[in-house]
Amino acid sequence: MSAPFAMALAGRRWMPLWAIIHHRGRRSGTYYATPIALVPTVTDDVFLIGLPWGTGTNWARNVLADDGAVLQWKGTVHRATAPRIVGAEEAAALAEPRYRPVVGRFPAAIVLRRS
């Protein structure tokens, strides 16, 4: 999905797998909005975002450095705190069963607590 197209759709009530993560640059302090795919979880107290390109993704590093972010998801704004990187096994266990095979192939995921 191209970035402009993703930004136009992400975060909308009718696009439940896509969200926009609002985060601050760890060096510049600039605020960014990045479209991401949220993985449905077996519990309502966390957000799970797969990291198919690994933990070096700039937005993920920014979220970790700032200890959280704001997510625009399903037409609502959510504060997400206490980010942590988890491996494929833990990410798959948190994901709804139908998403486990895909999430289990990612090298890592980021888990955030819903605030």
* 88-108 pLDDT per residue, tens: 999 999 999 999 999 999 999
For the segment 58-69, the average pLDDT, to the nearest whole number, is 97
**Sequence spans of domains, the chain:** 3-114
CATH code for residues 3-114: 2.30.110.10
Report field, pTM of the whole predicted structure over 0.75: yes
CB-based contacts of 27, cutoff 8 Å, min separation 6: none
* 15-49 pLDDT per residue, tens: 567 899 999 999 999 999 999 999 999 999 999 99
pLDDT score for 14: 45
Q: Is 115 buried (19+), middle (13-18) or exposed (0-12) by CB count in 10 A? A: exposed
How far is the C-alpha of 56 from the C-alpha of 109, rounded, in Å? 11
Average pLDDT over the chain reads 89
Say which residue the tokens 């795919």 belong to: 37
Helix (H) or strand (E) holding 20: strand 18-24
27: helix, strand or coil: coil
| 5: pLDDT strictly greater than 90 | no
| 60: pLDDT strictly greater than 50 | yes
Q: Is 94 left (phi over 0), alpha (psi -120 to 50) or beta?
A: alpha
